[in-house]
Amino acid sequence: MTTHPVDLRSDTVTRPTPGMRRAMATAEVGDDLFGEDPTVRALEDRLADLFGFPGALFVPSGVMANQIALRLLAAPGQEIVCDAEAHILAHEEGSPARYGGIQTRTVSGERGLLSPEAVRRILRPGNAYTVGTRALALEQTHTRAGGTVYPLETLRALRRLTARSGTAVHIDGARIWNAHAATRTPLSAYGAPVADTLAVCLSKGLGAPAGSVLLMAGEHLARARSLRHGLGGGMRQAGILAAAGLHALDHHLERVAEDHDHARLLAEGLREAGCSVRDPETNIVLVDTPGAEDVVRRAAWEGVLVTAPGPDVLRLVTHLDVGRRACRRAVEVLAAAVRADRREKSGPAQTEPAPQGKESEAA
């Protein structure tokens, strides 16, 4: 294995840049549990302004941000609707049910994206005998579908639909930065006009070491702070982490489009090498190949780290620590690993049997 691996497992594997480390080291801090950390307050105010929400809360992780949002919008025994492959279901340890007592109801969207018609058919008004749908949860971009982007018009149509039925909307915007970079849609359009709550992640795409911010209406803020505390997310001098987020917004947001260029470089190179690759919309590349776990192991031995979200799918995620040279190295290693795996699974070449009933010429 090489000493400097090319790590494409996720855009969460980035290391803080020297400038980010300096910002963290010099951050002005206070006790955030008392609401006294000025750097945390500055980060919350910055993101509230960017997305047009009156309330914002800094939390340790995207999972916590999502789960607080769902508990703000749905009480125990009530229902949320989401895509069948949503992050809140596939990657959050059953938390809606475990911690919120919330029932989930799913519909399969095309490439992870729910259409207004599909949502219209599944929403339930609720009555004395049936559970009503309290919230719709969307994901921007959709992780398991390969970083797909909700068009703004679809979000607006879903918002109009849910408003008529009194259903709230939560957006898991962990990679909303990638949607912004891919479409150049203003962040403000992705915020309050189309959602009641929005969770944005600072460690995906932007390169901060930790932290997410939950955006919401002002009346939710006191309860959100209480829920954060109850989940163990109350921090003290959290400005050290918030400073990394502010630095990322200042220095890394505009470069997110470079990750999309690198994803296309990976896709084109692997396709030219004979691999079956789905066209990336943002910074996630999905490669269809049988025995994906075996390919993951072969590539890791050569210093290229990727994941297999399914038995026949590889996932590659670009980020600010992976440049063009690293992408070319990844293409070389992964293409060779896929070819080697195919050869191994096809077995040894078969030779023609000797004619029966007479001696062969070799004899």
CA 54/CA 156 separation, integer angstroms? 20
Per-residue pLDDT of the chain (363 residues; tens, 9 = 90+): 445 899 999 999 999 999 999 999 999 999 999 999 999 999 999 999 999 999 999 999 999 999 999 999 999 999 999 999 999 999 999 999 999 999 999 999 999 999 999 999 999 998 888 899 999 999 999 999 999 999 999 999 999 999 999 999 999 999 999 999 999 999 999 999 999 999 999 999 999 999 999 999 999 999 999 999 999 999 999 999 999 999 999 999 999 999 999 999 999 999 999 999 999 999 999 999 999 999 999 999 999 999 999 999 999 999 999 999 999 999 999 999 999 988 887 866 544 454 454 443 332
DSSP 188: G
Q: What is the pTM of this model?
A: 0.92
CA 269/CA 174 separation, integer angstroms? 28
Q: Is 17 exposed, middle or buried (0-12, 13-18, 19+ CB in 10 A)?
A: middle
pLDDT tens-digit series, residues 215-234: 999 999 999 999 999 999 99
At 341 the pLDDT is 87
At 344 the pLDDT is 85
Q: How many CB atoms lie within 10 A of CB 213?
A: 27
For every residue of 8-56, which 3-state class applies, written as one string? CCCCCCCCCCHHHHHHHHCCCCCCHHHCCCHHHHHHHHHHHHHHCCCEE
At 128 the pLDDT is 86
At 320 the pLDDT is 97
Q: Is the dihedral of CA 272, 274, 275, 279 positive or negative?
A: positive
pLDDT tens-digit series, residues 56-101: 999 999 999 999 999 999 999 999 999 999 999 999 999 999 999 9
Per the listing, tokens 């921007």 go with 140
pLDDT tens-digit series, residues 105-141: 999 999 999 999 999 999 999 888 889 999 999 999 9
